[in-house]
Structure 1
Amino acid sequence: MKFKILLVLLLAVTPLVHSQNQFSGSVTDAETGEPVFSATVYFPQLEKGTVTDLDGNFSFKNLPEGSYQLLVSSIGYTSFSKNIDIPSEAIELQLSPSAIEMEEVIVSTPFHQLQSENVMKVERESVSELNRKGAVTLADGITQMAGVESLTTGVGIGKPVIRGLSSNRVLVYTQGVRLENQQFGDEHGLGISSKGIGSVEVIKGPASLLYGSDAIGGVLYLNPETYAAANETHAEASGDYFNNTLGYQGSVMAQTSGNKLKFLLRGSTAYHSDYETGNGLKVTNTRFNEKDLKAGVGYQDSKYKADLRYNYNRSNIGIPEEIGVQNTSKDLMLPFQKIDNHVVSLDNRLFLANSSLDLKIGYQFNNRKEFEEHHHGDEEEQEEETPGEHPALEMHLQTLSYNLKYNLPKTGNFETIFGIQGMQQTNSNFGEEILIPNAETVDFGIFGTTHYHLEKWDFQGGVRFDKRSIESESFIAEEGAVPAIDKNYNSINGAFGIKFQPLRKFAARLNLASGFRAPNLAELTSNGSHNGANRYEVGNANLSNEQNFQVDLSLEWRNKHFEAFANAFHNSVNDYIYISPSPDIVDNEQVYYYTQDNARLYGGEIGFHLHPHPLDWLHFESSFETVTGKLSENEYLPLIPANSFTNTFRFEFGQDKLLQNKYAFLRLKSVMDKNRVSIFETDTEGYNLLGAGLGGSLDLGNSVVEINISGNNLLNKDYISHLSRLKTDGISNIGRNIVFSLLWNI
């Protein structure tokens, strides 16, 4: 009901069209004076962009009055930014040639800017680039980003791990709203198809100032694909084949845009068999399939912008327990999960005089069912039942979220934002078992943040207050009744960052931030067997907030053909919640209790990117990442990724009449031994994984066909990742996997 009322109010206040300001200009090469074709010209605050024509010209219509940052970028050039006062006369812009990759706008931080201008260090990667490198799923693809790994159960289930923190300590945002899908569970994956996702941004470190509770470890921000440019219509069809899982996925998309209205529709499907390890064995019941639908309707005039998005995802995922039957079937086996996830978001922006008002509303419905072996009734009844007819576990999670921000008019060099955020969430059980109780969670937060810009210095800071209340019902667990809880958690957090750029080629960033996380329902109320972990877990209703403080230092140096970076962090977490073994035994399983202790994590990433002159087609990238996590008594934290090196040779070849955008790459990821482990983990042996790929595009006149071939673990190494939940059973990760991809753009 609340969601419907908000929708009605939004429609009621939709403003009328006022002035129709236009803005035009041209983009040329700073060295030759030649026009730059297909350069991206973008107003990030207005979320409005276009591309230059053959003569380097561009134009905008329906722009609101005010002062806005204009960003211009093109492959082979250094990205350029400039403040523009609307209305404005035509302008001529120049881009300097560079072998550095084209910069993109960072959306996840409050002041949309190029990464080189951002006070916070944010990693960004296009999903198309991740897919070119052979990613099986979105969770698999993000592991190619520095400082990001994945906690996996086979290849169908993956959870992001940012600098050693995961699950409820890492927030995932999609369509501009937080994704809520029972992420407390280790075997609960993202449940989002990579098809229809344009790019991925990663904030590494506390982001509670921007996002509230659960962003203590960072944020994975998924940007949906953009609409077509004004007065254009496009269609796309793509297909991928994975030789290891005999898997395939396909996707079709159509989009069209007028001057004000925009439409987009995409449907995708994927089916995979059990994956095969490097020793030739198939891991039984790692098969999975999914269906995904994404739709969008956009509207924009000179005073108002709206973006309505909808995503439905059905995932059917096998839960592996042991290596058993060896076949290539894609039919589900018990146990398996059936997950339906609906995400509806409405992004509104009202442009005022030199300011704007933003309101994002999201509604999600997550229906998670888990089917197990027959677990009730007598043997005759069990024989008559259809496998999977009655879910052992069925949880309905409904979430309504809102985010209201007022972007104040610029005052000198200051940009300031005030806002409120909130969430109302209900969890309901309908299965025969209860994992977490029926409960209601309510969040409310209020914050302010400001950015101050000077020629060589940038300062950004803010403060935020949050309150979370959790009310649950009592329920009967395996060892008796679990009482209801009524808890309230409060926290005040802040962040302060400095960017110093004394030279054009060098920049340093220092960020200090605090964050918090309220305990989740599983940590507060668990009382039962966790079959995936082979243990009996008992929650603790007296748990308090996790509260952390992190220091980040980032150094960057770049010129026309070389760039290097070094990132270091230290994260102190008070009252870190973890699960600890005890001597108690229930149902032949060791009992683990949730408890708290102070913890610290530290480490970082270092690397460089070389593209030597005159060999601009050659790129060599190398990076190293490390994380160490310890409790106060110097015991090591669990599920901390091993140190790793990644070295990549990338080749970008010139254009010809037949094949364009040709590329090839060769990548070696070296993971070191993991021998500093928690008391209930075992050491993990290091390994090397070789990957390679090549591709290009065919220009067919009115359409373009992209062809890509990539391979991972080409030497078919038999290995086990330290972050694999199948490690305790001695089950190896996926072996050689070659991916064939075809995409047709019309």
Structure 2
Amino acid sequence: MIAQRTLLASAVLSALASLSNSALAQEQEKILPSVVVTASPFSNEENAQIMAPAKVLYGDELREKLGNSLGDTLSQELGVSASAFGAGASRPIIRGMEGPRVKILQNGMSVMDASSLSNDHAVVGESATARQIEILRGPAALLYGSGAIGGVVNIVNDRIPTILNSKPTGEAEARFGTADKMKNGSFSIDGAAGAIGLHVDGNARDADDYKIPGYANASDPAQGSGRLPNSYARSNSVGFGASYIQDWGYIGASVGADDNRYGIPTEEKSYITQKQTRYDVAGLIKNPFGNFESFRFKLGYTDYKHTENLEDGTPATEFKNKASETRWELTHKPLAGWRGTFGLQTENSEFSALPVDDDHGHGHSHATVPVTKSQTIAGFLVEERDFGPVRASAGARIESVKRRPDAASGLVQRDFNLGSYSLGGLWTFTQGYGLGLTASVAQRAPAIEELYSNGPHESTATYDIGDANLRKETSRNIELSLQKTEGLLRWKANAYQNRVKNYVYGRTDGTMVDDHGDADPTGEFLQRFWSQNDATIRGLEAEVSYNLRGNGFSWRTFADTSRGTLSGAGNLPLQPTTRFGGEIGYREGNWRSGLKVLHAEKQNRLASFETYAAPSYTQVDANLSYTQNFQSTPITWFAIAKNLLNEDIRLSTSVLREVAPLSGRSLIVGVRTSF
């Protein structure tokens, strides 16, 4: 907390020292290009997102932070940590919120995988072919569903073209890693044939078990050392898209396929094979009628399946999700000074998690989740208006959710009516400085697995038991933000409190059971119950940066901390620890370099049923790149060093922190080009 107060004080002093430095601010605007947040209903720039604090990763910054998973890629962003279930599966955790409370999108549509159900399920969305990755909170999150209480992460790959290129453009990259013998190749190409825009992208990754500094489990040397057993990850993806583009707008379609296989680094050494085929249709009509600026629609369908396999290759449990989503949005012209978007969203899915020897799940108590159909329909509205130096933003969403388990399961059907709203204001008290305040109430229906689980989960070695009588969650959040958004020197500070009524979480009592749920001290499954209690999450974030994207020297310091507690029951499980760090960089001509240091304190604020306190660690990373032109084509050679101190890093947000540390020292080298 001392480091946090130091950063906040530094930010205030920086503001006072630079209020009159308008020339510096103008110069910075020439250096830093504006970045459009595509998940924002107002197409706001990143720097305008005070009421919905946003981060947009793109270009060199995205490539330098790129990891084998989405969680790994985003794990050092302000307020973001990762679940870290080995190299193959790691999902972002935003301000202590995880799983179904963080909505993962691809081009503004839900990824419709099974990653929100459990930490061992990988996100189907490839960062290597992304043009940018956006992190979004606040009023705009209400556009995307009750699963966005914690925030939204949007992977943008522009698979459906929206503009016509006069000539083919694209980029390609190959990289190699030493710690896991990783080989990764990716490409993305856009072109046009008359009025038809075309796109193709692909990625292939092959990584072996990664090196670790010591033993996988410090208290059990028999579990392995040197390399983390069963931590390999292999993935392939390909996507095609085409659009008919005219002055009035566009209409297009795309198809994508993902095929992944990765190990679960536990004593059982199970592994997951994962496949998804995805189809999307999207369109935009400009000035469709009356007082409307645009009409957008998106339709998506996903056929998802993953199988959890035993070490010898025997399939144990098969997860399936066939899901469709539609979005219809109208953006109106200014009305009494208000600008905004309203629309309709629907989701339909059929989900199951069944033993492979029972494809129907009828009458079997050991089915992890029975076949369950879900139907969601929602209406939403997001508006903003300027009142002199104050910009107001408001959002509202009403939503109906129906859960329909298979009749043979004997489980009760559930209906939930949800209402969410958000109101925020940004006061620009002087040019480049803003003070923002946001208050929101958001409701979430319990997820299928929280309601109906009743069976073994091989990869987590738990026997999950849901509660069909769970009530809806209601989150009340208030956030205060202060930012300087212009000039070479910029900073931000956020303070927030989130009170959640009927917070759903998994708890254990230490009981070991067999694969039928019967108590057995030698059983391989730990009994886990889905429960509810009121919860509170409070946190602080601060960041100060200088010349992050300009030539010459740059630097950044940051800190974040949060505390999650259950009413009368101690701490929330799997909470992030206090972190602080900094980075310096230098860019001149064709050269780019950087050094980053992140320190995380020991996390000893454990839930009542947690026994392992994640130790403190210091992570040091560095990067160096050189760009040369070959027949007018830029070619960038790069090297990225991760965990230079070879620290034994165990994340407090990881279920496997006691038995699966992160990778040790690693060097990644590669080459990329664009045309």
Coarse TM-score class (shorter-chain normalised): 0.7 to 0.9
Deviation at 1:484, TM superposition (A): 2.4
Rounded to whole Å, the distance in 1 between the matches of 2:86 and 2:71 is: 11
User: With structure 1 as the length reference, what TM-score do the two structures score?
Assistant: 0.79
Q: Secondary structure at the match of 1:141?
A: helix
1:688-699 equivalence runs, <5 A: 688-699=618-629
1:48 counterpart residue number:
none
Deviation at 1:510, TM superposition (A): 1.2
Deviation at 1:723, TM superposition (A): 2.1
CA contact (8 A) 1:206 1:215 kept: no
Rounded to whole Å, the distance in 1 between the matches of 2:281 and 2:255 is: 9
Correspondence 1:541 to 2:468? yes
Q: Structure 2: which amino acid aligns with 1:675?
A: N
Residue by residue, what CA displacement relative to the aligned partner does 1:598-639 show, whole Å, maximum 9, x if unpaired? 001010210101249xx9511110000111000111510011
Structure 2 gaps, min length 5: 1-22, 215-224, 359-366, 513-518
Rounded to whole Å, the distance in 1 between the matches of 2:232 and 2:510 is: 36
CA contact (8 A) 1:121 1:509 kept: no
Correspondence 1:665 to 2:597? no
CA contact (8 A) 1:175 1:309 kept: no
Residue by residue, what CA displacement relative to the aligned partner does 1:512-543 show, whole Å, maximum 9, x if unpaired? 11112211222112223344444433211100
Q: Secondary structure at the match of 1:740?
A: strand
Residue by residue, what CA displacement relative to the aligned partner does 1:457-505 show, whole Å, maximum 9, x if unpaired? 1111132210000001266xxxxxx522311011111111111102112
- Distance change (3 Å), C-alpha of 1:300 and 1:736: same
1:735 counterpart residue number:
664
Q: Secondary structure at the match of 2:61?
A: helix
2:300 counterpart residue number:
362
- Distance change (3 Å), C-alpha of 1:700 and 1:209: same
Q: Structure 1: which amino acid aligns with 2:404?
A: E
Deviation at 1:580, TM superposition (A): 2.7
1:178 counterpart residue number:
110
**Count of residue correspondences:** 617
Rounded to whole Å, the distance in 1 between the matches of 2:633 and 2:526 is: 61
Deviation at 1:564, TM superposition (A): 1.3
CA contact (8 A) 1:198 1:225 kept: yes
Which segment drifts farther, 341-350 or 268-277?
A: 341-350
Of 404, 425, 428, the match for 1:471: 404
Which segment drifts farther, 531-540 or 295-304?
A: 531-540
CA contact (8 A) 2:595 2:623 kept: yes
Deviation at 1:395, TM superposition (A): 2.5
Of 620, 634, 646, the match for 1:716: 646
Rounded to whole Å, the distance in 2 between the matches of 1:460 and 1:204 is: 13
1:142-541 equivalence runs, <5 A: 142-182=74-114, 183-204=116-137, 209-225=142-158, 230-257=165-192, 260-279=195-214, 281-322=226-267, 335-352=270-287, 353=289, 354-373=292-311, 387-388=312-313, 391-428=315-352, 429=354, 431-432=356-357, 434-473=367-406, 483-541=410-468
Q: Secondary structure at the match of 1:277?
A: strand
CA contact (8 A) 2:426 2:435 kept: yes
CA contact (8 A) 2:317 2:458 kept: no
Which segment drifts farther, 300-309 or 497-506?
A: 300-309
Residue by residue, what CA displacement relative to the aligned partner does 1:372-412 show, whole Å, maximum 9, x if unpaired? 15xxxxxxxxxxxxx53x52222321111011111122225
Q: Secondary structure at the match of 2:664?
A: coil
Rounded to whole Å, the distance in 2 between the matches of 1:425 and 1:447 is: 21
- Distance change (3 Å), C-alpha of 1:514 and 1:368: same
Q: Structure 2: which amino acid aligns with 1:371?
A: N
CA contact (8 A) 1:262 1:297 kept: yes
CA contact (8 A) 1:252 1:267 kept: yes
Deviation at 1:255, TM superposition (A): 2.1
CA contact (8 A) 1:208 1:214 kept: no
Deviation at 1:744, TM superposition (A): 2.6
| Structure with the larger RCO, 1 or 2 (CA within 8 Å, 6+ apart) | 2
1:50 counterpart residue number:
none
CA contact (8 A) 2:270 2:459 kept: no
Rounded to whole Å, the distance in 2 between the matches of 1:196 and 1:535 is: 34
Deviation at 1:229, TM superposition (A): 5.5
Rounded to whole Å, the distance in 1 between the matches of 2:194 and 2:461 is: 58
1:84 counterpart residue number:
none
1:601-616 equivalence runs, <5 A: 601-611=537-547
Of 47, 53, 59, the match for 1:121: 53
- Distance change (3 Å), C-alpha of 1:319 and 1:591: closer
Rounded to whole Å, the distance in 2 between the matches of 1:351 and 1:473 is: 44
Rounded to whole Å, the distance in 1 between the matches of 2:199 and 2:85 is: 33
2:673 counterpart residue number:
744
Deviation at 1:711, TM superposition (A): 0.8
User: With structure 2 as the length reference, what TM-score do the two structures score?
Assistant: 0.87
Percent of pairs with identical residues: 21
- Distance change (3 Å), C-alpha of 1:466 and 1:602: same
Deviation at 1:646, TM superposition (A): 2.1
Deviation at 1:455, TM superposition (A): 4.2
Rounded to whole Å, the distance in 2 between the matches of 1:206 and 1:546 is: 18
Q: Structure 2: which amino acid aligns with 1:417?
A: T
Correspondence 1:562 to 2:498? no
Of 563, 568, 571, the match for 1:633: 568
1:87 counterpart residue number:
none
Correspondence 1:684 to 2:614? yes
Q: Structure 1: which amino acid aligns with 2:127?
A: S
Deviation at 1:108, TM superposition (A): 1.2
Q: Structure 2: which amino acid aligns with 1:450?
A: E
Deviation at 1:170, TM superposition (A): 0.7
Structure 1 gaps, min length 5: 1-76, 80-94, 324-333, 374-386, 476-481
- Distance change (3 Å), C-alpha of 1:590 and 1:340: closer
Rounded to whole Å, the distance in 1 between the matches of 2:167 and 2:444 is: 45
CA contact (8 A) 1:413 1:453 kept: yes
- Distance change (3 Å), C-alpha of 1:555 and 1:259: farther
Q: Secondary structure at the match of 1:365?
A: strand
Which segment drifts farther, 258-267 or 662-671?
A: 258-267
- Distance change (3 Å), C-alpha of 1:727 and 1:498: same
Correspondence 1:726 to 2:656? yes
Residue by residue, what CA displacement relative to the aligned partner does 1:539-568 show, whole Å, maximum 9, x if unpaired? 111001111011111111245221111011
Deviation at 1:156, TM superposition (A): 1.5
Correspondence 1:576 to 2:503? yes
Correspondence 1:587 to 2:520? yes
Deviation at 1:138, TM superposition (A): 3.0
Rounded to whole Å, the distance in 1 between the matches of 2:209 and 2:627 is: 32
Q: Structure 2: which amino acid aligns with 1:597?
A: N
Q: Secondary structure at the match of 2:335?
A: coil
Deviation at 1:203, TM superposition (A): 1.8
- Distance change (3 Å), C-alpha of 1:560 and 1:520: closer
Q: Secondary structure at the match of 2:47?
A: helix
1:33 counterpart residue number:
none
- Distance change (3 Å), C-alpha of 1:450 and 1:134: closer
Q: Secondary structure at the match of 2:142?
A: helix
CA contact (8 A) 2:282 2:296 kept: yes
Q: Secondary structure at the match of 2:614?
A: coil
Rounded to whole Å, the distance in 2 between the matches of 1:544 and 1:472 is: 17
